[in-house]
Every structure is written in structure tokens, then in C-alpha cells.
Homo-oligomer: A and B are copies of this chain.
């Protein structure tokens, strides 16, 4: 039900550090990702400070995580020498973190998706009190605060002047999803034309690899959430190349809401092959610095998706 959270990519190289690194994952699972991303061989030493720096935390939580991973058998501990990788982590359809039962999504995230879902199904009224949610979803005050904060931040509900909340039209209108696409249509082609636009080679490489994975059968085997996430990551990476914090922030925001809308209208995978090709074409153009052309291609890409979505709409209640 609840879509899986974004994997965290490596820092994008924008402005020295990632603008808004998502940290929805547990430290242990982030460490696993690093091991995999760097393709570390068996026996690699994992210094705590190094990991701490890369994950932007202190050594304490890293040490806790290392000790946990040692318990799980992924790492080996040598007293006074540190932790060492037992065996390399192969790229698999399902991540090791899942298998080890890490990353159990927290109550807040879970309820967040349930609320969105209930809302879209028409099970929640336009206006509601905090007490209602608290009771209905069995939340503690802090959890309640957390979900409402997240929802308010994403803009699909807001406090009324007095007590109580209202759902905004973002998740209400029949064509919310279409509206979100029209925003992207205005934004993304423009982002590619920003002055000093630059897409670092390693980002291009990462994006290409992802698309190739999809063409090599990933379209069929990936879960709906994974497909969605890959699409989001591709587009966000491209916008990040603009270096414009306002564009980046906006596109991330709209994507967060889009996740709630889009997996209700995603059943048909036939168009994905086409998408992948368009994505690869975009990467080629950007690599060669042909941003004008890329911008046009992006416009067409989004337009065609928009048309496609418009056809299969009517899934959302009116």
C-alpha cells in the first residue's frame, strides 16, 4: 500500500552538498547502499568516521549501525581494528535492507499514506479535527503532530483559522494529477535553460544505468513504487542540474504529492519503453550541452505523458 521511500542517491554535487538530502532511511540501510554503490570487495575496512561524514551524522549512530550489521552477519568485527565487509553486496531486485528487516516504515509515514488514501477514496470529510485523526488512526500527540506537519508542508491540508483542518484541492479535484503535470510542463523545460546549467557526468551515468535497467526487463519486474521512484529520480536529477534552489524545491514538492496521486492511475506499463527512450535521448542532448533541444524534448516528453494521463483519468473520484 504505502509506496516505498526514496532511496537516497549520492550527493548531487550541487552547491557543494545536496540541497535537501532525504534521510528517510535508517543508518544501517544507508550503509548497505554505500557498500553497494561503491561496489566494495570482501574484506573492505569501514572506518566509522568515513561513513559518518558521508551520511552527515556523528560516529555514534554509525557505530550502532555497524554493530547491528555485524550481528546480521553482513560485517565482521575485529576488536580494536573495526568492521570489515564479509562479502560484496550484489545488485538484486529486492534490496538487502529489506531482507534484513531494516527500514521498517514508521507509524507516521504509514498513517500519512493511509490518510491520503482514505481521502482519495472519499472516506474523509473536507474538514476534520485533529482529535478525529488521533482517534481514527490511533496516534499519540507527537505522531499526530508529525503527520499533520508533513501533510501541511506538502500543502494538501491546512489549518483553519480556528480549530480544525481543511483538505486543499490538491488531492480533491478530479484532475489534480493533470494539474501537477501542467506545472511540471511549465517548470522542467525551463529548468534545462537555466544559466550555468550543469549535469555532472556521474549523474548522467547513474541516470543512464537506471534507464538501461528498465529497458532490460526492469519495466516488467520492478514494483509500481520502484517504477514511480525511478521516474521521479530521473526528473529531479535533471532539474537539480539547474542549480536553482527554487526550481529544485518546487519539483520535489510536486513530486511528493504526485506520488499520492499517481499510483492510483498507473496500471499500464506499455508506455514505459517509450519513456525510457525519451529519457535516454534527453541525457544524450544534455551531455552534449544542447540544452535548447533538450528543453524542447522535455516539453514533448511531458506533453505526451500528459495526454496519456488525460486519457486514463476518471480514476479519481469527482
Contact = CB atoms under 8 A, between A and B. Distances in A.
Contact of A250 (B17, B21, B244, B253): B253
Interface in A295-314: none
A253 B154 CA distance: 11
A250 B50 CA distance: 38
Interface string A174-187: 00100110110111
Contacts of A253: 249-250, 253
Interface stretch (A56-64, A71-79, A271-279): A56-64
Q: Kindly name the residue among A170, A191, A257 whose own CB sees the greatest number of chain B CB atoms within 10 A.
A: A170
A183 B247 contact: yes
A244 B182 contact: yes
Copies in the complex: 2
Interface string A241-258: 000111101100110010
A161 B23 contact: yes
Given A168-B19, A169-B19, A183 B246 contact: yes
Given A20-B158, A187-B186, A170 B245 contact: yes
A56 B191 CA distance: 39
A56 B247 contact: no
B161 A55 contact: yes
B162 A56 contact: yes
A173 B245 CA distance: 9
Classify chain A: how many residues form its interface, as a range: 35 or more
Going nearest first, the 9 A-B pairs with the smallest beta carbon separation are A186-B190, A57-B162, A183-B246, A23-B161, A179-B244, A170-B245, A169-B245, A155-B249, A15-B169
Given A179-B244, A186-B187, 18 more contacts: A15-B169, A15-B173, A19-B169, A23-B161, A55-B161, A57-B161, A149-B149, A155-B249, A168-B249, A169-B245, A170-B246, A170-B249, A173-B245, A179-B246, A182-B190, A183-B250, A246-B257, A250-B253
28 contacts: A20-B158, A21-B161, A23-B161, A55-B161, A56-B160, A56-B161, A57-B161, A58-B162, A61-B162, A149-B149, A155-B249, A168-B249, A170-B245, A170-B246, A179-B244, A179-B245, A182-B190, A182-B194, A182-B244, A182-B246, A183-B187, A185-B190, A186-B247, A246-B254, A246-B257, A250-B250, A250-B253, A250-B254
Interface of A: 15, 17, 19-21, 23, 55-58, 61, 149, 152-153, 155, 158, 160-162, 166, 168-170, 173, 176, 179-180, 182-183, 185-187, 190-191, 194, 244-247, 249-250, 253-254, 257
